[in-house]
Amino acid sequence: MDFIDSLNQQQQKAVTAELGQVLILAGPGSGKTRVLTHRITYLVQYLGVAPYKILAVTFTNKAAREMKSRVEEMVGANLRGIWLGTFHSTCAKILRREASYLPFGSNYIILDSDDQIAIVKNIIKEENINDKQYRPYNIHSAISNAKNNLQKPEDVPIQTFRDKIIQRVYEKYQQVLLNNNAVDFDDLLYWTVRLFEDYPSVRESYARQFEHILVDEFQDTNLVQYSLLKHLSSYHGNLFVVGDEDQSIYRWRGADYRNMLRFEEDFPKNTKILLEDNYRSTQLILDAATSVIDKNENRTPKDLQSTRKAKGNKIILHEAYDDRDESVFIVDTIRRLINHGRNKGSDFAIMYRTNAQSRLLEEAFLKAGLEYRLVGAQRFYGRKEIKDLIAYLRLVHNPSDELSLGRVINVPKRGIGAKTWQSISISAKAANISVGDMLMDLGLNSRDSQYWDEISSRSVAKLAYFGKQLVNWVESKEDLHLPELLSMIIDETEYELYLEENSSTKENSIDRLANVHELKRLTFEYEELGIETFLENMALVSDQDTLPEVAEAPTLLTLHAAKGLEYPVVFIAGLDQEILPHSRSLFEPEELAEERRLFYVGLTRAEDQLYLTRADRRSGYGSYVDCEPSEFLKDIPDELLEFAGRPGTTRHHHKTATNTKWNSYVGPTRGASRGFRMSKPKAPKPRTAQLYQPGMRVQHASWGEGIVMDSRIIGNEETVDIAFEDYGFKKVLASIVKLDILK
DNA sequence: GCGTTACATATTTTT
DNA sequence: TATGTAACGC
C-alpha cells in the first residue's frame, strides 16, 4: 500500500481503520482532506469497493469536485457512479428519483433564500400579521429551525403567542411551496428524511446501496443531516466522519457540533483517531490560535503541533484611526510585500466578519491599482437580472411554476400590473388550472379562448401576447439547446434593452449586461446536461464553487468562506468589539463561543504570517461609530504580538481599564520602526495608451459582435475581456486579436 | 399601471 | 449610506 507512504502514522491509521464507525478528530491543517481522499482510494483500490457504493458528503460542491479529481488521480481510473456531493445536492438527487412518493413532482424547483423570505412576507401580509413585531426574516428562520429539527407545522411546540404565529405561517408557507412544486434548502433534507421514515423500503434500498459513507466537516452537521446519516448507514454501518468541534461555525444554520459527541454515544464501538500534527502554520500561529480557543468550554483541549522547524514571525497588529485607514494599511502592506518580491498576490487573503467590510477594501485596492478577487458578497445568482432570467427558464421548463411566472410576468414591463395578475389568478383558480396554462390558452386561442371574457381586466390582450410568447418558448425548448433558448428569451423580451434603460448608471448597466453574458456563457456548459441540471445547479451551487482560480491576486472573503482554505499571509480585519465578536452574538454565551471559533478558523488559515487589524472608529449608517478592541485580542499572549503603529502619531489610549494587557502595547514599538509607511495610496500606475474601454462595441471576424467588459495593461500587453453575443466571454490580447471598434 | 416622492429602516455568516 | 415601501398623481 505504497499510496499511503506519504502520510504520517496517525493519518495512515485513519485511512486504514477497520470498517464500522470511525470518528476522526482533525485539528486545523492536519490533512483531513488527504485522509478522506486516501480513504476513498483505499476503499476502491484495496478493498475493491465499486464507486457507486460509496457516498461521500462534503461541505461545498467545490470540495466535492476537488476530492473526486484527487481520488481519480490516485486510483488512476474514473470514479463513475460515486455519490460525491453536498448534503443538499445528494438529497436533491434522491428526491428527484423518488418523487413519486412525495407531495411534489420530480421537476420541483429549489427556492433561494430571497424567494423564501418573500413568501413568508406575503403570508404575513395576507394574514394581517404585524410585520414589525414578526419580522419575515425571523419567522422564516424559526420555520427553518423547525424543519431542521424534523418538526412538521403541527409539531411546533406552542408556548407563546409567537409560536402560534410561527406555526400558522409555517403551515401556509409549506402550502405555498407545495402548490408551486417548490422546496427550500431545508426541505431537501427534511423531505429525504421523511421519505426514509415513511417508506422503509426506500430507505432500505439506499442503505443497502451505500456500503460506505464518508462525511467531511462533520462538526457542522445539523440534526436532519445526522438522522439522514443514520438512515443511510443503517444497513452496512460503515460511517467514516471527519470533523473538528473547534471549527464549528454554522450554529445559526442549525449545525450542532455536539453531533460529534452524539456519534460516540450512538455508536459505542466507534474507532476514534486524533490528528494533531499541523502541516500548515508556524508554531507561533498555532500557539496564538490555541490560546484563543482554549477560552471556550465544553471541548477537548488539543495540543496543536507544527511540523515546521522555524517558530515563525510574530503576529502583526495594526490599529487604524478608522476603517478606511485600516483598508489602506492592508493594501499598502500587501503592495510593499509584493514589491519586495517576498510574496506574490495570490499568497494573501483578507478575511472579515461581514461582507459589508469588503467595500472599503475594494476601494483601497482600486485606488492602489492592484487586482483582487472577491468571494461571495453580492452573489452572482442573487442578482436581479440573473434571477429574472432563471425565472424565465424555470417557467419554460414548467409553465405551472407560478412563483416564477409572478416574478417575470411584468419584467420587462409589459403592462400587466397587480390588478391583472390578481384577476387572472382568480380565474385560474376558478377554472382549476394553473395561471401558466391559462396564459398559454389565451395565447393560443386569443379571443376564442374560453377564458378571454372571464378575465375582468383591460389587459387581456397583453396577457394573450405574453401567453403566445410562452407557448412559443415551450414548443421551441425541445429543438433548442439551452444557450439558444436563453438567447431567444432574452431577444424576444428585449431584456437587455430593459436593463440598459433601467440601470442607474452607465457602469451599472454594463455590469448587469456582463452578468447576463456570464449567464449565457454558463449555459454553454449545460448544452449536454440540459435545463433540469442547470436549474438545480443554479440553486445549489455557491459562489465559492464557481470562483475561477485565476489571477495572481489577493483574495477577499468572509471568515465563514475561509473554512478549509489556507494562505501564506492572512489578514483578519475588523478586530473590534461588535464586529468580531459580532454585536448580535454578545448576549448569548453559545453565540459568543461561536464567534471565538470563527476567529480561530481565521487564525489557523495562515501559514507564515498573520496580520490583525482594527480601527478606532468605523463608518456606520452614514456616521462614524467609536470602536473598542475585540475582547478576543486579550487572549493572545503579548509575546506573540508585534505592534505596527501609526508613524507620526501618539497611540490612542483605550479606555478599557480592564484590558491591561492591551495597554501594554502603548508606546513606540519595533513594528513602527520597521518602515511601515502610511502614505496615501498612489494613483494607479500610468498606463500606456489603452485602445479599448469598457462599454465599447467591437467586432471580430469570426466571433461577431461583442461588448468590452474590461481592459487593462498587463506588462506591455493590453488584455481585453469581451462578451460576444454568440460566443460568450473571451479574454484576448489586443495586439494579437484583430478587433474593429464599432462607432 | 407606472413613475415620482418622502420617509423609514437597518440581515451576520450560506446550503 | 442605501434601500425598500407607502402614498400620490398622472
Return chain A residues 113..142 having CB < 7 Å to nucleic acid strand C: 121
Q: Which nucleotide is nearest to A89 (CA to C1')?
A: B15
What local confidence, expressed as pLDDT, does residue A702 receive?
58
Q: Exposure pattern of A590-619 as b/e (b: 16+ CB <10 Å)?
A: ebbbbbbbbbbbbbbbbbbbbbbbbbbbbe
What local confidence, expressed as pLDDT, does residue A595 receive?
97
| CA–C1' A655–B2 (A) | 55
| CA–C1' A604–B14 (A) | 21
What local confidence, expressed as pLDDT, does residue A1 receive?
72
Report the C-alpha gap between A63 and A80 in whole angstroms.
Answer: 17
What letter represents residue A622's amino acid? G
Q: Which of A507, A571, A530, A184 is nearest to A349 (CA)?
A: A571
Mean pLDDT of chain A: 87
Report the C-alpha gap between A69 and A430 in whole angstroms.
Answer: 54
Report the C-alpha gap between A298 and A49 in whole angstroms.
Answer: 38
| CA–C1' A437–B5 (A) | 39
A290 among known catalytic residues: no
Q: Please report, rounded to a whole number, the percentage of residues in chain A having pLDDT higher than 70.
A: 89
Report the C-alpha gap between A400 and A392 in whole angstroms.
Answer: 12
**Which position has the higher pLDDT, A474 or A709?**
A474
- Among candidate residues A16, A33, A151, A209, the one labeled active-site is A33
Contacts of A441 (CB under 8 A, 6+ apart): A433, A449, A450, A451, A467
What local confidence, expressed as pLDDT, does residue A559 receive?
95
| CA–C1' A378–B6 (A) | 28
A217 among known catalytic residues: yes
What letter represents residue A31's amino acid? G
Q: Which nucleotide is nearest to A117 (CA to C1')?
A: B11
What local confidence, expressed as pLDDT, does residue A572 receive?
98
- Among candidate residues A11, A247, A558, A609, the one labeled active-site is A247
| Top mean-pLDDT range of A108-112, A286-290, A722-726, A735-739 | A286-290
Structural contact between residues A307 and A277, judged by C-beta atoms closer than 8 angstroms: yes
* Residue A504 contacts strand C, CB under 7 A: no
Question: In the predicted model, is pLDDT for residue A316 greater than 90?
Answer: yes
| CA–C1' A390–B13 (A) | 26
Report the C-alpha gap between A161 and A164 in whole angstroms.
Answer: 5
A578 among known catalytic residues: no
Nearest residue to B9 via alpha carbon and C1': A621
| CA–C1' A33–B15 (A) | 20
Nearest residue to B1 via alpha carbon and C1': A417
Q: Which nucleotide is nearest to A583 (CA to C1')?
A: B12
Which residues face A610 on adjacent strands? A570
| CA–C1' A369–B12 (A) | 30
Structural contact between residues A40 and A74, judged by C-beta atoms closer than 8 angstroms: no
- Among candidate residues A302, A605, A614, A618, the one labeled active-site is A605
Question: E strand or H helix at A407, and its extent?
Answer: helix A402-408
Report the C-alpha gap between A167 and A170 in whole angstroms.
Answer: 5
| CA–C1' A253–B11 (A) | 14
Q: Which nucleotide is nearest to A375 (CA to C1')?
A: B14
Q: Which nucleotide is nearest to A501 (CA to C1')?
A: B3
| CA–C1' A463–C9 (A) | 26
Strand B nucleotides, any atom under 7 Å from protein beta carbons: they are 1-3, 9-15
- Angle subtended by helix axes A530-540 and A384-397, to nearest 10: 140
What local confidence, expressed as pLDDT, does residue A61 receive?
87
Question: In the predicted model, is pLDDT for residue A715 greater than 70?
Answer: no
Q: What is the pLDDT confidence band of residue A473, given thresholds at 50, 70 and 90?
A: very high
Q: Which nucleotide is nearest to A623 (CA to C1')?
A: C1
The model's pLDDT over A171-188, given as tens digits with 9 standing for 90+, comes to: 999 999 998 899 999 999
* Residue A621 contacts strand C, CB under 7 A: yes
CA A426 to chain centre: 38
Which residues face A646 on adjacent strands? none
What local confidence, expressed as pLDDT, does residue A132 receive?
82
Question: In the predicted model, is pLDDT for residue A544 greater than 70?
Answer: no
| CA–C1' A497–B2 (A) | 18
Nearest residue to B13 via alpha carbon and C1': A560
The C-alpha cell at A431 is 377554472
Residues lining strand B, beta carbon within 7 angstroms = A 59-60, 86-89, 112-113, 117, 132, 137, 185, 249, 252-253, 353-356, 376, 410, 413-421, 457, 459, 540, 542-545, 558, 560-561, 582, 584-585, 621-622
Task: Kindly report the number of other CB atoms within 10 A of residue A468's CB atom.
Answer: 16
- Among candidate residues A115, A184, A186, A217, the one labeled active-site is A217
> Which DSSP state fits A650?
P
Question: In the predicted model, is pLDDT for residue A724 greater than 70?
Answer: no
A697-700 and A704-714 as β-strands: parallel, antiparallel, unpaired? Answer: antiparallel
Q: Which nucleotide is nearest to A357 (CA to C1')?
A: B12
| CA–C1' A710–C4 (A) | 31
* Residue A620 contacts strand C, CB under 7 A: no
What local confidence, expressed as pLDDT, does residue A31 receive?
93
| CA–C1' A121–C7 (A) | 20
The C-alpha cell at A640 is 506573540
Nearest residue to C3 via alpha carbon and C1': A621
The pTM of this model reads 0.83
Mean pLDDT of A115-120: 90
A484 among known catalytic residues: no
Contacts of A251 (CB under 8 A, 6+ apart): A257, A590, A591, A594
Q: How many CA atoms lie within 13 A of A375 on its CB side?
A: 26
For the ranges A224-238, A508-522, A671-685, the lowest mean pLDDT is seen at: A671-685
| Backbone torsions φ then ψ of A624, nearest 5 degrees | -90, 145
Q: Which nucleotide is nearest to A545 (CA to C1')?
A: B15
- Among candidate residues A72, A112, A216, A347, the one labeled active-site is A216
How would you class A674 by CB atoms within 10 Å of its CB: exposed for 0-12, middle for 13-18, buried for 19 or more? exposed
Strand C nucleotides, any atom under 7 Å from protein beta carbons: they are 1-2, 5
The model's pLDDT over A587-602, given as tens digits with 9 standing for 90+, comes to: 899 999 999 999 999 9
A33 among known catalytic residues: yes
3 state SS for A147-190: HHCCCCHHHCCCCCHHHHHHHHHHHHHHHHHHHCCEECHHHHHH
Structural contact between residues A44 and A71, judged by C-beta atoms closer than 8 angstroms: yes
Distances (CA, A) of A419 to A376, A415, A422, A493, A691: 37, 10, 5, 21, 51
What local confidence, expressed as pLDDT, does residue A736 receive?
57
What local confidence, expressed as pLDDT, does residue A648 receive?
37
Report the C-alpha gap between A53 and A207 in whole angstroms.
Answer: 10
* Residue A622 contacts strand C, CB under 7 A: yes
Mean pLDDT of A324-342: 95
Structural contact between residues A200 and A126, judged by C-beta atoms closer than 8 angstroms: no
Q: Which nucleotide is nearest to A112 (CA to C1')?
A: B15
Structural contact between residues A349 and A675, judged by C-beta atoms closer than 8 angstroms: no
